[in-house]
Amino acid sequence: MMASQLPPLQAIRAFEAAARHASFTKAANELGMTQAAVSYQIKVLEERIGTPLFLRKPRQVALTETGQRLAPAITEAFALIGDAYAAARGGADGLLCISTVQTFASNWLARHLGSFQIAYPSLAVRLDTSSHMVDFAREAVDVGIRSGGGNWPGLATHLLFRADFTPMLSPKLADSIGGVKTPADLLRLPILDPEDVWWKGWFVAAGLPPDDLARRTGSSMGSQASLGSAAMAGHGVAILTRALFAAELGDGRLIQPFDISGDDGHAYFLVYPESRRNVPKIKAFREWILDEVAQSVGER
Residue-range domain boundaries for the chain: 2-87, 94-162+266-297, 166-250
Percent pLDDT > 70 in the chain is 91
pLDDT value of residue 91: 40
Strands (E), 214-276: 238-240, 267-273
Instruction: Examine the pLDDT at 59 and tell me if it is beyond 80.
Output: no
- Say what the pTM is: 0.68
* Domain formed by 2-87, architecture: Orthogonal Bundle (1.10)
For residue 125, the SS3 value is strand
> Do 292 and 160 touch, CB atoms closer than 8 A?
no
CA distance 135 to 53: 23
pLDDT value of residue 214: 65
Q: Please determine whether the domains at 94-162+266-297 and 166-250 fall in the same fold group of CATH.
A: yes
CA distance 283 to 291: 12
Q: Which CATH superfamily is domain 166-250 in?
A: Periplasmic binding protein-like II (3.40.190.10)
If one compares 130 and 113, the residue with the highest pLDDT of the two is 113
The yes or no reply on domain 94-162+266-297 and CATH 3.40.190.10 is yes
The total number of residues shown for the chain amounts to: 300
pLDDT tens for each residue of 91-112: 445 889 999 988 899 889 998 9
